[in-house]
Amino acid sequence: MEMLAIDLSLGLEKLLLIGGIISFSLLVAMYTTYGERKIAAWMQDRRGPNRAGPFGLLQPAADGLKLFFKEEIIPLTSNRMLFVLGPALAMITAMLTSAVIPWGPTIEVFGRQVSLQIADVNIGILYIFGVVSMGVYGIMIGGWASNNKFSLMAAVRGASQIISYELAMGLSLIALLMLTGTLSLKSIVAQQMTGGWNIIYQPLGFLIFLICVFAECNRTPFDLPEAENELNFGYHQEYSSMKLGLYLFAEYVNMFISSAVVATLFFGGYDIPFVDEAALAANIGVNATAALGFAALFSKILFFLFLFIWVRWTIPRFRYDQLMDLGWKKLIPLALANMLITAVVVLWLNK
């Protein structure tokens, strides 16, 4: 009976953590759309949303309600089941990555030690790559099921882009794994708290990884799958109502989760810079220190979200041949060179 009670409490704890992380991710993604419009307006010397609620803060809710109540159109010649599955798959894969991200140190609740990580698997980075690689199916299925040649063309281009940049992304992380010796994100954060952030040791790996993240999220200058000036409206041209909303919203969820992954791998995750967390916990308590750690992680995430938006309104879109040349002829050779140099340094230091 005691074991059953422990299992039930652990299950309830995980369910609450999953619900909290998903709700928080959706809330941040929703207001990232508002932030993007406001920052774009600031950069272009205009006002942006300012009618729905004070300072336009209710604009994301108004946009969501509009999508919910718009007429839903499914083309007669489309594959109905796959047409519905495409946007659902895009959203699900965007959310699944959050399961292995450590959102903060362990907290204490009613005498129990509660981890702010849904699953501390020892192959966390491989899990992220496995889930991210499934995201291409959301694009391909949506383009194929629409039975529209423009949608299909955009989906094929999107799939080849994502697969191409996944290679450079994976190679850039091999060098990081040589230094850390672990695939667990929690262990990587713990190492950075004592030995310094990985951005210090892997600046080139970080730059390659960040560029690939932009390509994986279909963000400018890599937003070729939705290049409306070349392919009408891209792979989701035939979608309307909330199915279109799921595709658009999945992009912002991907931005948020990708920012969390970058902050975790290269910028210490929930590590508070220039602060001894152990001494701080002894002074103000474990839970207060965890709250400050989460605030530190969230601040880093907000910086990268701003970077996503800043780049979109600064750099023009690449041509498709330029995009492929950058991925295959520039980033992959650079990632291989970085991996080789890192291997030599690690062997030399471990002699």
Backbone dihedral angles phi then psi of residue 108, each to the nearest 5 degrees: -115, 120
Pairwise CA distance, residues 124 & 119, whole Å: 9
Dihedrals phi, psi of 112, to nearest 5 degrees: -100, 145
Indicate the pairing of strand 112-114 with strand 107-109.
antiparallel
pLDDT at residue 235, as a whole number? 81
- pLDDT, residue 3, reads 56
Q: Cα(6)–Cα(79) distance, rounded to whole angstroms? A: 46
Dihedral through CA 6, CA 8, CA 14, CA 20, nearest 10? -120
pLDDT digits (tens, 9 = 90+) for 279-289: 888 888 888 88
**Spatial CA neighbour of 101 closest among 20, 31, 163:** 20
Distance, C-alpha 323 to centroid of its chain = 21
Whether the full predicted model's pTM is greater than 0.85, yes or no, is yes
Residue 229: pLDDT band (50, 70, 90) is low
Q: How far apart are CA 50 and CA 322, in angstroms?
A: 38
Burial class (CB in 10 A: 0-12, 13-18, 19+), 141: buried
pLDDT of residue 48: 87
Crossing angle for the helix pair 185-195 and 149-180, to the nearest 10 degrees: 50
| pLDDT at residue 236, rounded to an integer | 81
Across 85-89, 131-135, 223-227, least confident range: 223-227
Question: Which range among 80-89, 216-225, 232-241 has the greatest average pLDDT?
Answer: 80-89
Please determine, for residue 7, whether its predicted confidence score (pLDDT) is greater than 70: no
Q: What is the DSSP letter of 116?
A: S
Q: What is the mean pLDDT of residues 134-147?
A: 87
Rg of the chain over Cα atoms, rounded to whole angstroms, equals 21
